[in-house]
Structure formats: structure tokens, C-alpha cells
Amino acid sequence: MFLIDSHCHIDIDDFDNDRKNVIERALNMGIEKILVPNVDSTSIEKIVKICDEFPNVCFPMNGIHPTSVNQNYIKELMVFDEWMKKREFIGIGEIGIDLYWDKTYFEEQKKVFVYQLNVASELKLPVAIHSRNSLEEIIEIIKKESIKDIKGVFHCFPGNINQAKRVIDMGFNIGVGGVVTFKNSGMAKLVEELDLEHIILETDAPYLSPAPYRGKRNEPSYINIIAEKVAELKEITKIEVAKITTGNSLKLFNID
């Protein structure tokens, strides 16, 4: 049995003082692979360096996070394209729309999102989608664009069961993280109703720590806590949760 953290910002400065220890702790606790999404041109080189330092453990994605999109989005896309030519990535992410922090560049966010969806389609890579306060807008964009062979995960899924079913019908997985452990969590209710075949586990570390570490730095070893909560909700063993969700992640991101 082993687990995968399918979405971890291990490159963030929060880990600069003890990154190696954090990764070793995860490995010792059965988390054998850590998938690392990109944010923008300022983070990609560091991510690649970390993943090269921890081969077959840390795996890089390349993408432009919606909160990094502004009037200079063309330059960001140029850097994104350059990196896609330089090396292989397991996915395109973290991409999407964010209407929580700022709606100023909504139109630019849509352009960048669609561009990256098309790259993912062309290269047959999965996408990791950020959909904060924008789930319906993203569903509408994906349906409208009719881009072929798009698959991926809605990271930190923010919606209800009906929206989850629509996303699954479109060929996407549901990302379940620390929020599932929060009291009165809508995510917990969602997990109870969804088939595990559509779920992958993630931390979003250093953010969104599960209880009892809520408010503190998150880390990939806490995938164990998330898996235990999912097992409790589904009334099955943690081993079963690990087997199915790990298999889902390996298949989605085409990792051996």
C-alpha cells in the first residue's frame, strides 16, 4: 500500500528550511510520490530543480495559475511554451479561473485557461484545475470550447454533488484534500456520495491543513489523515482507499 499527494506546492518558501526532511517524512509514512503544480514563470525553475533532486518521488507540472494572470499574460505564456519544449511534465497545472481574489483580469484568465487546455489536448496531458468561485464558469468554458481528449482533476473541488457529477461526466476526477476533515464540511458529504473511482487525494500543502493541524503548515505526510477520513466516511479500510485513489492518480498522470 502506498499513497500519492497529487497536489503539493513543495517549492513554496515555507519548506525552504526543511524540504528534505518533509519529503523523507512523507516517504517514511507511505507517501511515495508527490505531484508538484506550477504557479507561473517565477516558480517553474525551482520546481524543476526540486523534482530533479528527488527523482521518482517529486513530479513537475507546468502551468499558469489564474491569480498570476494580468496584462502581461502573453509573456507568461511565452515562458510556459519555452518550458514545454525543454522537458517533459506529467500535467498542465495549476490552471483555471479565480474570481475570489480579483475579477479585474477575468477575460485574460479565460484566454490563458483555454490556451493551456489546448496545449494539454495536443500533448495528451491531464490538467489540474483551480476553480475558486468559478466552477460554473469553468464548466461552461470547457463545454463551449469542445476541446478534444481533455482529462484531469478539479483540484480542491468546491462544488456540490450535482456539480461533481457533471464534472465526472465530462471526464474529470475530484480532488479531495484537508477540507474533508473540517467540521460540517460539504466535502465530507460529497465523499460519502461519490464513487472512489472518481477521487484522488491531495494536500495543497502548505495550505489547507487537515484537522487537527488546521491553521498550521500543511505537508504531504498528512495525506494519511485525509485517507483515514475518507475511509471513515466510506466505511472501508484505509488500505482500500489507498489502493483505489493511488491507482486513480497513477492512471490520470500516467506515472509508472
Residue-wise pLDDT tens digits, 24-44: 999 999 999 999 999 999 999
Residue 124's domain is classified under what CATH number?
A: 3.20.20.140
pLDDT, tens digit, 9 for 90 and up, residues 89-134: 999 999 999 999 889 999 999 999 999 999 999 999 999 999 999 9
Q: Where are the beta strands (DSSP E) in the chain?
A: 3-5, 31-36, 58-62, 91-96, 127-130, 152-154, 172-176, 199-201
**Strand, coil or helix: what is 61?**
strand
Query: Is cis: bond before 220, omega within 30 of 0?
Result: no
Q: What is the pLDDT at residue 123? A: 97
Of residues 84, 32, 27, the one with CA closest to residue 61: 84
Range of the domain at 161: 3-252
pTM summary value: 0.97
pLDDT, mean over the chain? 97
Cα(93)–Cα(77) distance, rounded to whole angstroms? Answer: 13
C-beta separation of 141 from 110 below 8 A: yes
Residue 190 has pLDDT above 90, yes or no: yes
Query: pLDDT band for position 1 (50/70/90)?
Result: confident
9: pLDDT confidence band, cut at 50, 70 and 90?
very high
For the chain, how many structural domains are there in total? 1
